[in-house]
Amino acid sequence: MGKTWHLGPGARELEAGVQSGRPPSPANVGVHSVTVHGSDLYRLNCQGCHGESGEGAPPEINSLINPVRATAVDAVIDRLKSTGAEIGRAEATKMAQQSRDALLQRLHDGGENMPAFPHLSEAEIHSLLAYLKQLSGIPGNENKQMVVRESPYRIGELIVKSTCHTCHSAVGANPTSQELMDGAIPPLSTLLKRVSEGELIRKVTHGAPIIMGTPPMLYRGRMPVFDYLTPQEADDVYWYLATYPPPESAGHNPAIGLSTQNHFYSAAPSAHASDGKRRAIARAGTQSLQENAESNVRTAFLLGALALFAFLLLAGGLGFTIYELKRLSAESERRKIVRVRASILGFPVPQRDPDSTAASASRARLRQAAR
Amino acid sequence: MTRTLIFTFLLMVYFSAVSTAGTIQGKISGASGTSVVYVDAIPGKDYPPPPSQSTVIDQRKLAFDPHITVVQVGTAVDFQNDDSAQHNVFWPSINGNKKLGHNLGTWPKGEKRSFKFDQPGVVPLLCNVHPEMSGYVVVSPTPYFAQTDPSGAFTIDNLPDGKYNIVAWHEGKKQQIKSVNVSGTAKVDFDLVN
């Protein structure tokens, strides 16, 4: 079982690597980011175990519906009312807050079988929580799923760290076919030696039989089919895995680990965080602020460029219109001169439409009548 | 510690010396599963103090374990979380009195929180995170209590002779009180209706 989810680089790191040309570029390198909603984040992070409905498969996989409902004050009050007990709003609010903290703690630390999700950003958690509430039937959350922009690497990272890592270890030896027969699951770092890009996409989204055992025979694969993932998302997994084995430092680099922790703890400050951890979080906080500032500068630059482009386009259009107007009026002037000259020289001149003269006469009459 | 033990021992010797130990036996019908029977408080009578050691209720596999716990008033109960999920423990009331409702908080695996029950009555335990969880602490005003076996039979031992009110409680049933004169062995049966 792959429980070493601390291994594996963060998407941000990879994007930086792409710029310096280190890891291989994905085929979709032209796509800089995709827009995801809370429902997508649920699909990428949670659905693999908890299913589309969120009910899981008890007793092994707990339902997430009730722990999410417990975070909503009205749901807490309603639930107690249905059992005949009553509770004040203040007390219900306190309990809902406790349940919310517990839910976020669970998300951050994982459980006995649940992977930990310390790598989720604050925006991702907010968007995901809104969808979880919607899924749990708490009214008023339909329009609260914040839109998050993600890089293809990030999509790959999310799927690998939540779904793939549940069964696949991060690193290890490439198992032989006999070892596969004995139940070995190939580690993520060897996957790309075993399958091509197309094969991985097919295996993930549609399933594929595998050859196992001696003598080699075709078996139906053991891996679940993730038909709710798009081929593009499976491709993102491929290119994220192209960076495996992860650099030694990835899991232990305090800067990376803490900055991701900070994303979480700023959403839900933990009462159990030790002093050292808190100091580290504070340090990471400034780092994250710098990151935010950087991204703000980038956004401002993009907006400026867009505005400049729009201005140039409009100015060009205006210039062209003026030019065309001038050209056309000059042309009609030239034609008038030609007509006058032709009439002087006795050439046949095309008559004006008699209707239009009649019309202008009637307009003149009308104007007179108006006076 | 040793002194407390000696004191308790002496107290027990004293009680067994001044009065012949009585026993109440009986059977509860009309309810399946565990019922609780205890001797109600009698004004002006002293009882042995509650045990200094606390009673443990586990939260395991999304359930309170044991489902029903009986303690003497003044006993501390440790609520221990043995699940990987975080659990909350609260009770909206004690014996229907909402003023005695309390939220003990929410805590993760391996941790426990303690509460000393100083008010007698039935404490319905709930977990806000998991509505499927429920449990009960029955706080008996006296040290004389028992839980029924699967057949509904119960025995309360070491009771001084005297006249007592016996309370029978079962989850979801109306509790019943019966008077009984204990001299040696007394018998009292309950038929719990809704």
- Of the candidates B103, B124, B131, the beta carbon closest to that of A79 is on B131
pTM above 0.90, yes or no: no
Task: Tell me the C-alpha distance between A356 and A371, whole Å.
Answer: 23
Partner residues linked to B153 by β-bridges: B27
Nearest Cα to Cα of residue B35 among B44, B23, B27: B27
State whether A102 and B88 contact (CB < 8 Å). Answer: yes
What is the chain B residue with the closest CA to A112?
B84
Q: Are A56 and A63 in contact (CB under 8 A)?
A: yes
Report the gap between the CA of A194 and the closest CA in chain B (Å): 36
Task: Tell me the C-alpha distance between A278 and A48, whole Å.
Answer: 33
Q: Any CB–CB contact under 8 A between A111 and chain B?
A: yes
Which CATH number is B20-47+142-194 given?
A: 2.60.40.10
For residue B93, list chain A residues with Cβ-Cβ distance below 8 A.
85
Indicate the DSSP class of residue B98. G
For residue A66, list chain B residues with Cβ-Cβ distance below 8 A.
129-132
State whether B108 and A99 contact (CB < 8 Å). Answer: no
Where do the DSSP E strands lie in chain B?
21-29, 36-39, 55-59, 64-65, 68-72, 76-81, 87-91, 102-107, 112-116, 121-126, 134-140, 145-147, 153-160, 162-169, 176-182, 185-187, 190-191
State whether A94 and B103 contact (CB < 8 Å). Answer: yes
Partner residues linked to A57 by β-bridges: A61
Distance of CA A299 to the CA centre of its chain: 17
- pLDDT at residue number A352: 53
- pLDDT at residue number B43: 81
Q: Any CB–CB contact under 8 A between A87 and chain B?
A: yes
Structure tokens at A342: 């032709």
Q: Kindly compute the dihedral angle of the four CA atoms of residues B148, B153, B158, B162, in this order, to the nearest 10 degrees.
A: 110
Distance of CA B155 to the CA centre of its chain: 14
For residue B129, list chain A residues with Cβ-Cβ distance below 8 A.
66-67, 70, 99, 102
Nearest Cα to Cα of residue A12 among A165, A192, A162, A157: A157
Best mutation target, A66, A94, A104, A132, to test chain B (most B CBs within 10 A): A66
Nearest 5°: the CA angle A309, A315, A319 is 145
CA distances from A3 to A164, A180, A213, A266, B148 (A): 10, 19, 26, 25, 46
- pLDDT at residue number A181: 76
Q: Are B98 and A80 in contact (CB under 8 A)?
A: no
What residue segments make up the domains of chain B, in order of their start? 20-47+142-194, 50-141
pLDDT tens digit sequence for B52-92: 999 999 999 999 999 999 999 999 999 999 998 899 999 99
Partner residues linked to B139 by β-bridges: B71, B121
Chain B residues 13-32 with CB within 8 Å of chain A: none
CB burial of A352-367 (b: ≥16 within 10 Å; e: otherwise) equals: eeeeeeeeeeeeeeee
> Which is it for the CA torsion A295, A301, A307, A312, positive or negative?
negative
What residue segments make up the domains of chain A, in order of their start? 1-33+162-250
CATH topology match: B20-47+142-194 vs B50-141 = yes
Q: Any CB–CB contact under 8 A between A76 and chain B?
A: yes
Residue A221 has pLDDT above 70, yes or no: yes
Report the gap between the CA of A14 and the closest CA in chain B (Å): 33
Task: Tell me the C-alpha distance between A131 and A126, whole Å.
Answer: 9
Residue recorded with tokens 């080699």: A216
Task: Tell me the C-alpha distance between B116 and B77, whole Å.
Answer: 6
A8-33: average pLDDT: 54
State whether B105 and A98 contact (CB < 8 Å). Answer: yes
Report the gap between the CA of A114 and the closest CA in chain B (Å): 9
CA distances from B154 to B41, B149, B169, B170, B171 (A): 19, 7, 12, 13, 16
Confidence of residue A369 (pLDDT cuts 50, 70, 90): low
State whether A96 and B90 contact (CB < 8 Å). Answer: no
Which CATH number is B50-141 given?
A: 2.60.40.420
Report the gap between the CA of B57 and the closest CA in chain A (Å): 20
Confidence of residue A256 (pLDDT cuts 50, 70, 90): very low
| Residues across chain B | 194
Kindly report which listed range (A9-13, A327-331, B81-85, B134-138) carries the lowest average pLDDT score.
Answer: A9-13
Residue A16 has pLDDT above 60, yes or no: no
State whether A95 and B88 contact (CB < 8 Å). Answer: yes
Residue A371 has pLDDT above 90, yes or no: no
Report the gap between the CA of B6 and the closest CA in chain A (Å): 41
| A·B CB contacts under 8 A | 65
Indicate the DSSP class of residue A271. T
Q: Which helix (H) or strand (E) holds B85?
A: none
Q: Any CB–CB contact under 8 A between B124 and chain A?
A: yes
Structure tokens at A98: 């406790």
Q: Any CB–CB contact under 8 A between B61 and chain A?
A: yes
CB burial of A125-145 (b: ≥16 within 10 Å; e: otherwise) equals: bbbbbbbbbbbbebeebeeeb
CA distances from A257 to A46, A159, B168 (A): 21, 18, 57
Q: Are A38 and A128 in contact (CB under 8 A)?
A: yes
Nearest 5°: the CA angle A254, A255, A261 is 85
- pLDDT at residue number B56: 97
Q: Any CB–CB contact under 8 A between A95 and chain B?
A: yes
Confidence of residue A336 (pLDDT cuts 50, 70, 90): confident
- Of the candidates A67, A85, A111, the beta carbon closest to that of B84 is on A111
> Which residue stretches of chain B have pLDDT < 70?
1-20
Task: Tell me the C-alpha distance between B47 and B141, whole Å.
Answer: 9
List, in order, residues 6 or more apart from A311 with CB less than 8 Å away.
none
Report the gap between the CA of B31 and the closest CA in chain A (Å): 20
pLDDT tens digit sequence for A258-302: 333 333 333 333 333 344 443 444 344 334 444 455 666 778 888
